[in-house]
């Protein structure tokens, strides 16, 4: 179901790009913005592991540093049928973790000091399985494609804004556009693209939860871990970049109310409920 939802959201995002591109930038402007977004996000995708790991001062672990974590990860990768990723430790007390890398052959899983102290072996296994599910599903690639399209839409809005400032109404009149409509599009289109991009991210989180639960064979491992992570991460701050917050298993940022529309993570109660339903069935 979440796979279908992701495909539908990606389709809507693509349609939005074509529609907005023709209104704000015409076919030429749309192509320029899309190519710029492709170049920018391709670089981020290709070097994402190095960039984000350095950003959080992650240090690569060797087997002798944490033999149990290595054994656990090897067991899970064997079940998932993917290569063993590199393992990293982040010197931060907030319990959290993320996976990165452009494909399963170039993947890395990073965990914080805090998560190793907080979780039991079974709960940590649930978290690692969740991250390996992201790797197996190539979620970094999916996220990059979504970011490319959303970025192109934002660039088109910026191009149209500068064109109106310096070029007057000429460009819009040539296409027969209403200036009011164009202004509304410049504001609404980037927001709509961002909301769809965040919805795709939330859908992938549900998929990783389900995939991780199946990998361990016990959904409650991850459900119990998520409860602990949600409660503790709110008490222990983490200096996280909002551009990378979606990578973590629980958001390292605080937010509520209206900001939930732009949240990269589903509500924790929904994630836990879905995992428990895998064990106990739906509860009416």
Answer whether residue 99 shows pLDDT above 90: yes
Beta bridge partners of 110: 88, 98
Mean pLDDT to the nearest integer, 247-269 = 76
Q: Beta partners for 90?
A: 112
Q: Indicate the pairing of strand 59-60 with strand 86-90.
A: antiparallel
* Integer Cα distance of 128 and 232 in angstroms: 18
How many C-beta neighbours within 10 Å does residue 156 have?
Answer: 29
Which of 52-61, 63-72, 198-207, 213-222 has the lowest average pLDDT? 198-207
> First vs last Cα of the chain: how many Å apart?
20
Q: Which two tokens mark 130?
A: 């969740």
Whether pLDDT at 119 is above 80: yes
> pLDDT exceeding 90 applies to what percent of the chain?
45
Nearest to 49 by CA among 144, 124, 152: 144
CA distances for 54 relative to 57, 59, 60, 62, 138, angstroms: 5, 9, 11, 17, 21
Q: Can you say how many angstroms the Cα of residue 216 is from the centroid of all Cα atoms in its chain?
A: 22
Catalytic one of 123, 131, 205, 210: 131
What confidence score (pLDDT) does residue 41 get?
64
Give residue-wise pLDDT tens across range 163-196.
Answer: 676 655 444 444 445 677 677 778 887 888 878 8
**Measured distance CA(41)–CA(34) in Å, rounded:** 10
> Would you mind telling me the total number of residues written for the chain in this entry?
284
Domain carrying residue 198: 2-280
62-88 pLDDT, tens digit per residue, is: 999 999 999 999 999 999 999 999 999
Any catalytic annotation for residue 74? no
Q: How many CB atoms lie within 10 A of CB 191?
A: 14
Q: How high is the pLDDT of residue 222?
A: 98
pLDDT band at 246 (very low <50, low <70, confident <90, very high): confident
pLDDT computed for residue 284 by the predictor: 43
User: Would you say 155 and 37 are in contact if contact means Cβ atoms under 8 Å apart?
Assistant: yes
Indicate the number of domains in the chain.
1
77 in Cβ contact with 132 (< 8 Å): yes
Per the model's pLDDT, the better-predicted residue between 110 and 169 turns out to be 110
- Mean local confidence (pLDDT), 98-119: 94
pLDDT in tens, 122-144: 999 999 999 999 999 988 878 77
**Higher-confidence position of 173 and 95:** 95
- Distance separating alpha carbons of residues 141 and 121, to the nearest angstrom: 30
Give the integer Cα–Cα distance in Å for 132 and 62: 18
Nearest to 244 by CA among 235, 253, 236: 253
∠76-72-50 over CA atoms, to 5°? 80
Q: What is the pLDDT of residue 24?
A: 67
CB atoms closer than 10 angstroms to residue 265:
21
Kindly report whether the global pTM for this prediction surpasses the value 0.75. yes
Residue, of 256 and 98, whose pLDDT is higher: 98
230 neighbors 268 (Cβ within 8 angstroms): yes
Lowest mean pLDDT among 161-165, 220-224, 238-242, 251-255: 161-165
Look up residue 43 and give its two tokens: 């670089």
């Amino acid at each position: 179901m979440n796979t279908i939802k992701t495909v539908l959201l990606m389709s809507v995002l693509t349609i939005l790009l074509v529609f907005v591109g023709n209104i704000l930038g015409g076919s030429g402007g749309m192509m320029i913005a899309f190519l710029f977004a492709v170049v920018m996000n391709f670089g981020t995708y290709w070097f994402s592991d190095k960039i984000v790991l350095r950003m959080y001062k992650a240090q690569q672990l060797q087997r002798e540093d944490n033999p149990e974590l290595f054994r656990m990860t090897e067991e899970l990768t064997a079940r998932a049928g993917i290569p063993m990723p590199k393992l990293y430790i982040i010197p931060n007390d907030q319990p959290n973790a993320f996976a990165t890398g452009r494909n399963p052959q170039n993947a890395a899983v990073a965990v914080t000091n805090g998560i190793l102290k907080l979780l039991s072996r079974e709960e940590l296994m649930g978290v690692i399985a969740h991250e390996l599910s992201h790797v197996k599903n190539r979620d970094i690639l999916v996220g990059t494609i979504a970011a490319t399209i959303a970025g192109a839409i934002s660039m088109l809005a910026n191009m149209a804004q500068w064109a109106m400032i310096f070029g007057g109404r000429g460009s819009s009149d040539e296409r027969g556009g209403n200036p009011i409509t164009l202004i509304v599009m410049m504001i609404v289109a980037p927001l709509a693209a961002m909301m769809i991009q965040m919805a795709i991210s939330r859908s992938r989180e549900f998929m990783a939860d389900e995939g991780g639960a199946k990998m361990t064979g016990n959904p409650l491992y991850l459900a119990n871990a998520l409860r602990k992570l949600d409660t503790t991460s709110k008490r222990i701050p983490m200096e996280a970049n909002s551009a990378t917050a979606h990578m973590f298993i629980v958001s390292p940022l605080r937010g509520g109310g209206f900001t939930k529309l732009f949240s990269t993570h589903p509500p924790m109660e929904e994630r836990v409920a879905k995992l428990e339903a895998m064990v106990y069935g739906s509860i009416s």
